[in-house]
Structure 1
Amino acid sequence: MNSKRQREAITYRMKKLAAKREEITRKTNAVREKIQKKYEDMKRVLDEDLHITLTQLDTEREAVERLVEERIEVCRHLSQDLNLELDNLSAHVKNDAQEVDIQDAETDKRISETLKSTDPDLIRTDEFRNEQLLSLTINLLLFIRSQVPVTKKLFQSYAADVVLDADTAHPKLIISPKGDSATYTDTWRDVPETPSRFDNTLNVISQRGFSEGRRYWEVEVSGKTYWELGLTYPSIPRRGRVEDCWLGRGKESWCVEYFSGDYTAWHGGVQHELPLLAGKQFGRIGVYCSFPGGLVCFLGADAMTPIHCFCAGTFTDDLHPALCTGHDNEGTNWKSLKICDASRSAPVL
């Protein structure tokens, strides 16, 4: 009987979890549809503005083309009249010379007046206004391009002040005085042995952890061929088997690893290969965590490119930013990992 109640409890829990999945999907899709509609509205506004601008230009062009056609028609009629006059002159070649001179003078006058009135230089467009219109369009494009993507703007509002704790750093890591960078050295440094120090993997974690809200931080990884970035509970092993201390190999931490062009996400010892990112290089990597959502997300901060996202559901302890510089990787991986100001976009080089 007890076994039956247990089975019923498990079955009921499975139904509740399925209902939760449907609820999350429904709510996410609703927000997604609203956001998509807003972007469609923005596109519609731009399309309407484009239509107005081009219609105005076309209307003015058509007016100028009509004027040009009218002037061409005037010249055509004059040419036809001249042909008739030449024919008449040939037919009356014996006419009085004085009469011929009078006709020539009148013809010359007509031609002169027509050429004067149909001078192409008299047909003008407001080119200065058109250049202003083009300039405004360029400025609009530059303004749109200068805007930080909404995801980036939102994450920047969650920017966290991350300071690395030198007392946790492996002896082969040099932590800057400000605690904003970690550099691998081939020399085992003479540092105090503390229970918090990693002694068999090239890790370092932050001085302070996060326990609520939403946090975002970025690390500059340009020029490196091997690194690991992530978040960890304070309970991550600092000594013992190497695998236990690596980021993402236990249930205490989450990380993304980059090694010689390949990306892998890790948690609980389970690896998630990311083949679509193979060969792609980022200047900065962003790490985002949400306590309300139980999320740990990694992205290429340069263009807000999603890399991988973990859902823990609920975090059970403080989360500390963590990083591993990686070894020298045959002389290709000496550059530092540097904590960036995540509240500002990376400068355009």
Structure 2
Amino acid sequence: MTVDLLVGGSQKKSSVIRDSIIRKYQEIQAVLDEDLRMTLSHLEMEERAAVSALDGLMERNCSLIQEIEQDLARLTVTLDQTDTMSFFSYPEQQDTETVDRVMDLLSRTDPSSVSLDEAKAEQILSLTNKMLLLFCSQTPIIQKLVKSYSTEVCLDAETAHPKLIISHQGDRATYTNTWQQLEDQPGRFDTTLNVISLQSFSFGRHYWEIDVTGKTYWELGVTYPTISRKGTTEDCWLGRGDESWCVEFFDGEYTAWHGGVPHQLPFTKRFCRIGVMCNFPAGLVTFLEADKMAPLFSFCAGTFSDCLHLALCPGHDHNGTNANPIVICNAPSPTSDL
């Protein structure tokens, strides 16, 4: 009964939050729709005024054409009644008033004198472009929020399996078929191709992005420091015991693991970046396709019983198809060798 009440309470809280977020998005959309309506209303009003003015000019032009035709007819009659040489010998006898009136009407009925306020239109376009840039800088909201949890980590070379080469900066692990002669540290994995981060975390929210470009086999996730590291027990593998959570990619298939329980994921695309987020307040471990922040899988631990390390497995060579390293994108900047 108590469990049912807790489940019902969590679902109710989730529903309230979801409904509130939906309402906020609807309010944002309503504000944008109203602003668009007002802007278009102004532009349409000015367009109607310009069209009306052009219609008036066209009517006046038609009247002007009729007057010109009448004046031409009158001048033709005058020419017929007047000696041609005499007419051209005395230009002052021409109807200069008519010519002046025609030119004046032509200038006042020039369609190019009617135009929209192009400067204001350019200002509106500039403002809308700035608004677009602002929205683009703030969205997707979930991407901006999750990336704000980014935390720098580097790999602990003393935990790495002897067939893993860890970069000097601690930002990448590469498989080599050569067993390196390394000191057998108590915390070193000796069977599984794992390595964990030097840093551990016990509170807050943390996010890392892992570059798996070109790889055909990898595992990544988070683990307690108590994960088994020696021997061939299945608990040494990420996600196979209760101490770790992971997503695995192998032969084109994605699988989420925890406690030895596999969860087949419905994805076929080979992703380039995987996001891993651990949320201590909520006890969540979430895996994302980092480029579009598309959720892959989420585990709810309720409450974590220990600190967490980022854990990676770049996988073996997979018949020569898996040579690329696995790379932490949130690694610290390289330090100087001087």
- Whether the TM-score (by the shorter chain) exceeds 0.5 is yes
The SS at the match of 1:19 is helix
The SS at the match of 1:230 is strand
Q: Which residue identity is paired with 1:301? A: A
Cα deviation for residue 93 of structure 1 reads 9.3
Cα deviation for residue 238 of structure 1 reads 1.5
Task: Decide whether the 8 Å contact of 2:223 with 2:244 is kept in 1.
Answer: yes
Structure 2, unaligned runs of 5 or more: 88-92, 333-338
Residue 61 of structure 1 is aligned with which of 47, 56, 65? Answer: 47
The SS at the match of 1:162 is coil
Q: Which residue identity is paired with 1:41? A: E
Trace 1:101-112 onto structure 2 (pairs within 5 A): 108-112=99-103
2:319, 2:45 → 1: CA distance?
Answer: 67
Residue 45 of structure 1 is aligned with which of 28, 31, 46? Answer: 31
Whether 1:235 aligns to 2:221 is: no
Task: Decide whether the 8 Å contact of 2:209 with 2:290 is kept in 1.
Answer: yes
Match of 1:208 in 2: 199
**Identity rate of aligned residues, in percent?**
51
Whether 1:26 aligns to 2:16 is: no
Residue 277 of structure 2 is aligned with which of 288, 291, 294? Answer: 288
Match of 2:290 in 1: 301
The SS at the match of 1:322 is strand
Match of 1:155 in 2: 146
Cα deviation for residue 267 of structure 1 reads 1.2
Cα deviation for residue 195 of structure 1 reads 2.7
User: TM-score by structure 2 length?
Assistant: 0.85
Cα gap change, 1:94/1:110 in structure 2, threshold over 3 Å: closer, same or farther? closer
Task: Decide whether the 8 Å contact of 1:206 with 1:321 is kept in 2.
Answer: yes
Residue 328 of structure 1 is aligned with which of 317, 322, 327? Answer: 317
Residue 72 of structure 1 is aligned with which of 46, 51, 58? Answer: 58
Task: Decide whether the 8 Å contact of 1:198 with 1:238 is kept in 2.
Answer: yes
Which segment drifts farther, 75-84 or 60-69? 75-84
Cα deviation for residue 79 of structure 1 reads 3.0
Q: Which residue identity is paired with 1:322? A: A
The SS at the match of 1:335 is coil
Cα gap change, 1:306/1:342 in structure 2, threshold over 3 Å: closer, same or farther? farther
Task: Decide whether the 8 Å contact of 1:216 with 1:289 is kept in 2.
Answer: yes
Match of 1:196 in 2: 187
Cα deviation for residue 23 of structure 1 reads 0.3
Cα deviation for residue 273 of structure 1 reads 1.4
Task: Decide whether the 8 Å contact of 2:175 with 2:325 is kept in 1.
Answer: yes
Which segment drifts farther, 20-29 or 219-228? 219-228
Cα deviation for residue 192 of structure 1 reads 1.1
Which segment drifts farther, 242-251 or 68-77? 242-251
Match of 2:2 in 1: 16
- Show structure 1 runs of 4+ deviating over 4 A: 81-90, 92-98, 101-110
User: TM-score by structure 1 length?
Assistant: 0.83
Match of 2:258 in 1: 267
Cα deviation for residue 140 of structure 1 reads 1.4
Match of 1:9 in 2: none
Match of 2:269 in 1: 279
Match of 2:137 in 1: 146
The SS at the match of 2:35 is helix
Cα deviation for residue 230 of structure 1 reads 0.4
Cα gap change, 1:103/1:23 in structure 2, threshold over 3 Å: closer, same or farther? farther
Cα deviation for residue 66 of structure 1 reads 1.2
Q: Which residue identity is paired with 2:249? A: Y
The SS at the match of 1:217 is strand
2:316, 2:124 → 1: CA distance?
Answer: 56
Cα deviation for residue 45 of structure 1 reads 1.5
Residue 337 of structure 1 is aligned with which of 316, 326, 331? Answer: 326
Cα gap change, 1:108/1:196 in structure 2, threshold over 3 Å: closer, same or farther? same
1:230, 1:134 → 2: CA distance?
Answer: 47
Cα deviation for residue 158 of structure 1 reads 2.9
Cα gap change, 1:85/1:327 in structure 2, threshold over 3 Å: closer, same or farther? same
1:148, 1:240 → 2: CA distance?
Answer: 47
Structure 1, unaligned runs of 5 or more: 1-14, 344-349
Cα deviation for residue 177 of structure 1 reads 2.3
Task: Decide whether the 8 Å contact of 2:154 with 2:169 is kept in 1.
Answer: yes
The SS at the match of 2:119 is helix
Task: Decide whether the 8 Å contact of 2:190 with 2:229 is kept in 1.
Answer: yes
Match of 1:314 in 2: 303
